[in-house]
Amino acid sequence: MPRNDIGVGAIRSTSLIVLLLFVCGQFAGGKGVDFQVDWSLFRGAGDSSRVEFFYAIPIFTEHGVQFEFEARDSGLVAEFSVRFEMEGEEGFQKDATIYKRVSAGSTLVDEAQAKRAIVDGFSLQVPPGKYRFRMAVAKPVLAGDTGCFAEAGSIEDSLDVPDFSQGLAMSLLQLAAGVAFDTVTGGFSVVPNPMRCYGSAGLGTVYFYFEGYNLEPEADSFEVSAALLSRSSEPETLVSAEPSARSKSGSEVSATLGMSVAGLEPGEYLLGVEILDRGRNETVGRHAVFRVAGEEEPAQVTPYRLEMSELERRHHDRLEYVATRNELDYYNALSDSGREAYLAWFWSRHNLAEFARRMETAEARFKTARTSGVKTDRGRIYVKYGEPDEVEHRVLEVHTRPREYWHYYNLGYVFVFIDLRGDSNFRLAYTDSPDEPRTGLERYLTPEEEEMFH
């Protein structure tokens, strides 16, 4: 029986990426990108089976943001690729690379939504048998003048693909975050939940989809039973749904249902679903493991909370002094609550105490009658690069303006500042730092300086 399934429809379209709010889960991976993989098995065309893989990649983890967002004409975007390889015992091999692009919006990291994840997937037809697969996420990097993708996290696992053509059979249960019904067509869309985690943030119901095969075609209905059980050597039924009759035509059936997890303690549970073929009076069933989140688990936004001293609070939002252009564009595109979360993540990777100290020092040391110290060129460079290893002061001939040479020997940079107006506001005229654009004041360098620094 065909279905309109986002888990499959999105899989077959490289343009669709679903953003979901997930609330818990330990993500596998570990080389830089955390993500989770899940799969479902269904009967395919002919003698083959259909394997549907789903993956979830959170935008943010406790270690920070997982993708670099860049400013494009279409807005802020991040790119990544997914490499998939699968091998079977009978010589089956399949590999593919999927390239994805994610757009950032003003609600991307709102405080209540800082656990947003990218959810997508793909499917393939395989013969029944035992398989191993490997899925890797790669991020774009710049190698010289050439861009490429470097692997940043991978997952390997095995799966047994059954033969659904023999006897009464049932697909694996596909756990979902939600189901949307179309009252016009009668179809429905299933939003996968690769984390298999429920319990808060709107995910209070375990939705699931399944298919049944080889039922007695003469009977006009079948029966479905479902229960939530403890995960133990002898599972105990905790919540059960009354068996319900479903109409059918033919020997293949499908259904989607949901069961509330209200009242369940945090932990792992089993979802059990059983089909009764009324024509044969036979049953077949499947189990799936899922998690219920505790109150403390959804609050993984806590790593983004920033404890600050009064001095640090005074300067913590002045990212323009240390952030890259892309980081600053991303920050400026966020909502107020999103900026709070981003600031906390940003300062988890930078030394806020040292930054605040530099801001105070620059203000006191370089301020002039008309300009705040941190807004002068020397103040900005001091905040960004710290105390120079050496400062040369030069007051030359009458017709040559005073200047300072700042040397950062460990970095290999030099900065030339010139007092153009005689007001002690030294302007940056030249630097060999690749992080600084041309100043437009290079014409004030003397021939000696041009020979020295060019």
- Distance, in Å, from the CA atom of 31 to the CA atom of 183, rounded to the nearest integer, reads 45
Domain presence at residue 281: yes
- pLDDT at residue number 13: 28
pLDDT over threshold 50, residue 172: yes
Per mean pLDDT, which range of 112-121, 244-253, 288-297 is the poorest? 112-121
pLDDT in tens, 54-66: 888 877 666 666 7
Domain presence at residue 62: yes
- Distance, in Å, from the CA atom of 454 to the CA atom of 361, rounded to the nearest integer, reads 31
Contact 78, 70 (CB under 8 A): yes
pLDDT over threshold 70, residue 96: yes
- pLDDT at residue number 72: 54
The pLDDT confidence band at residue 30, using thresholds 50, 70 and 90, is very low
Name the residue type at position 158.
Answer: S
If you ran DSSP here, which 8-state letter would residue 444 be given? G
Longest dimension (CA), the chain: 107
Domain presence at residue 247: yes
Which three-class secondary structure state does DSSP give residue 417? Answer: strand
Cβ count within 10 A of residue 426: 24
Domain presence at residue 1: no
Residues 419 and 307 in one domain: yes
DSSP string, 277-320: ETTTTEEEEEEEEEEE--TTSTTTTGGG-----HHHHHHTT-GG
pLDDT over threshold 70, residue 186: no
Cβ count within 10 A of residue 371: 15
Residues 212 and 361 in one domain: no
What's the CATH code of the domain at 37?
2.60.40.10
- pLDDT at residue number 375: 93
Residues 373 and 279 in one domain: no
Residues 24 and 156 in one domain: yes
Residues 70 and 112 in one domain: yes
Which three-class secondary structure state does DSSP give residue 325? Answer: helix
pLDDT over threshold 80, residue 251: yes
Residues 286 and 363 in one domain: no
Residues 275 and 317 in one domain: no
pLDDT in tens, 388-412: 888 888 876 556 788 899 998 777 8
- Distance, in Å, from the CA atom of 287 to the CA atom of 230, rounded to the nearest integer, reads 12
Boundary-marking domain end, from 257, 292, 327: 292
Contact 171, 161 (CB under 8 A): no
Residue 226 tokens, joined = 């479902």
CA distances from residue 282 to 211, 285, 364 in whole angstroms, order as listed:
16, 10, 84
The pLDDT confidence band at residue 28, using thresholds 50, 70 and 90, is very low
Would you say the C-alpha torsion 67, 72, 75, 80 has a positive or negative sign?
Answer: negative
- pLDDT at residue number 58: 77
The C-alpha angle with vertex 404 and arms to 398 and 409, in degrees rounded to 5, equals 150
Residue 281 tokens, joined = 């009076």
State how many domains the chain has: 2
Residues 389 and 354 in one domain: yes
Beta bridge mates, 84? 96, 135
Boundary-marking domain end, from 292, 312, 338: 292
pLDDT in tens, 117-149: 777 888 899 999 999 999 998 887 755 555 677
- Distance, in Å, from the CA atom of 70 to the CA atom of 78, rounded to the nearest integer, reads 6
- Distance, in Å, from the CA atom of 214 to the CA atom of 273, rounded to the nearest integer, reads 17
Would you say the C-alpha torsion 232, 237, 241, 243 has a positive or negative sign?
Answer: positive
Boundary-marking domain end, from 292, 318, 350: 292
Cβ count within 10 A of residue 168: 18
pLDDT over threshold 90, residue 294: no
DSSP string, 324-392: -HHHHHHHHTS-HHHHHHHHHHHHHSS-HHHHHHHHHHHHHHH--SSS-GGGSHHHHHHHHH-S-SEEE
The pLDDT confidence band at residue 324, using thresholds 50, 70 and 90, is confident
Residues 375 and 418 in one domain: yes
Domain presence at residue 297: no
Residue 131 tokens, joined = 């398989």
The pLDDT confidence band at residue 177, using thresholds 50, 70 and 90, is confident
- Distance, in Å, from the CA atom of 343 to the CA atom of 348, rounded to the nearest integer, reads 8
Domain presence at residue 398: yes
Instruction: Share the mean pLDDT of the chain.
Output: 78
Alpha helix positions (H), 82-196: none
- Whole domain around residue 240: which residue ranges? 6-292
pLDDT in tens, 330-371: 788 877 767 877 787 777 767 888 889 999 999 999 998 888
Domain presence at residue 442: yes
Residues 271 and 158 in one domain: yes
pLDDT in tens, 39-92: 999 999 888 999 999 888 877 666 666 766 665 554 456 778 889 999 998 788
Q: Find tokens 């609600």 and name the residue.
A: 107
Which three-class secondary structure state does DSSP give residue 135? Answer: strand
Select the more confidently predicted residue: 275 or 233.
275
- pLDDT at residue number 300: 37
Contact 33, 318 (CB under 8 A): no
pLDDT over threshold 50, residue 113: no
- pLDDT at residue number 397: 59
Residue 405 tokens, joined = 């040479």
Cβ count within 10 A of residue 329: 17
Residues 70 and 41 in one domain: yes
The length of the chain is 454
